[in-house]
Amino acid sequence: MRNIIVNLSFTVYLRKSKHKNMKKYLFSLVFFAVSIANAQEKNLKIFKFQPFSLITGSMNFNQEIFNKSQTRSTVFGIGLRYVNKDNEVYNYDNFGNSTPYTQTNKWQGATASVDRRFYVPGFFSGDKYTFINEKAKFGVYLSAGLKLEYNINNYDNSSYIYIPDTTKLNSTYKLSKNTGKVSYLGIMPNMNIGMQFTLFQNLYIDTYIGGGIRFISKKISNEVNDGPANGYNYYVNSNAIETFVIKEGVQPNFGFSLGLNF
């Protein structure tokens, strides 16, 4: 439709190019035609940010694209993870002097996801629902999705261990090395039930809960472990990642996002 209107406008211009104001009229006509075509072809698109992803050191964004009737939508998501923690452990001698050692726990990764949503009956404005404002939108949906995750953990959990020596009065400590690199490739099919509505007409609130099954392929490389790390501090923990990202099996799946329609 857009190409037909633009070609027609250009033909009119060629035939009447001698008119003094034709260029001005042509510009106005083309602008008006393109505007109409864009308005006819434009579907609702919502760009969203997921605040809960920050708990696991990740920034996740997605975009929801609706069909024309706003009864179905597809959500594409992407996220980047970066966590870099450290902790100091010390070796104290009999004179109170200490030798520090820095433990590290570094995570890097990426996430990609796709979801297909089925709104029941649709994502409609207040003229369809009498219990909300006329300009607000509301919808309940069932979704099926797939999430892919790739994460790399470089860690150094080395610590000082006590070495007993019955021949000497002074106790001695040894630095026990415990370092390595672990990569995790995960795939998680999931199903969810959710609700989305607008606040202040322009802010989209999206929340869902469901479940999925996470399958993980784990690869360990560059591992060095020459003894138990039972010094003053064992390791730098990453509880949120271990609970929500690299845990295999049946998992709860929930989320919350804030969105805008650009």
3-state secondary structure of 180: strand
Average pLDDT, the chain: 81
* Residue carrying the six token digits 């959500």: 75
User: Rounded to the nearest 10 degrees, how much is the dihedral formed by the CA atoms of 56, 60, 66, 71?
Assistant: 10
Condensed to tens digits (0 to 9), the pLDDT of residues 8-58 reads 444 444 444 444 554 554 455 444 444 444 444 589 999 999 999 999 999
User: What pLDDT does residue 129 have?
Assistant: 64
User: What pLDDT does residue 5 have?
Assistant: 42
* Residue 156 vs residue 41, higher pLDDT: 156
Q: Looking at the DSSP assignment, which residues form a beta bridge with residue 211?
A: 191, 252
Residue 88 has pLDDT above 90, yes or no: no
User: What pLDDT does residue 166 have?
Assistant: 64
User: What pLDDT does residue 256 have?
Assistant: 95
Condensed to tens digits (0 to 9), the pLDDT of residues 173-223 reads 788 888 999 999 999 999 999 999 998 878 999 999 999 999 999 999 988
Rounded to an integer, what distance in angstroms lies between the CA atom of residue 137 and that of residue 65? 15
* Residue 112 vs residue 231, higher pLDDT: 112
Q: Tell me which residue of 228, 207, 239, 261 sits closest to 55, measured CA to CA.
A: 239
User: What pLDDT does residue 42 have?
Assistant: 81
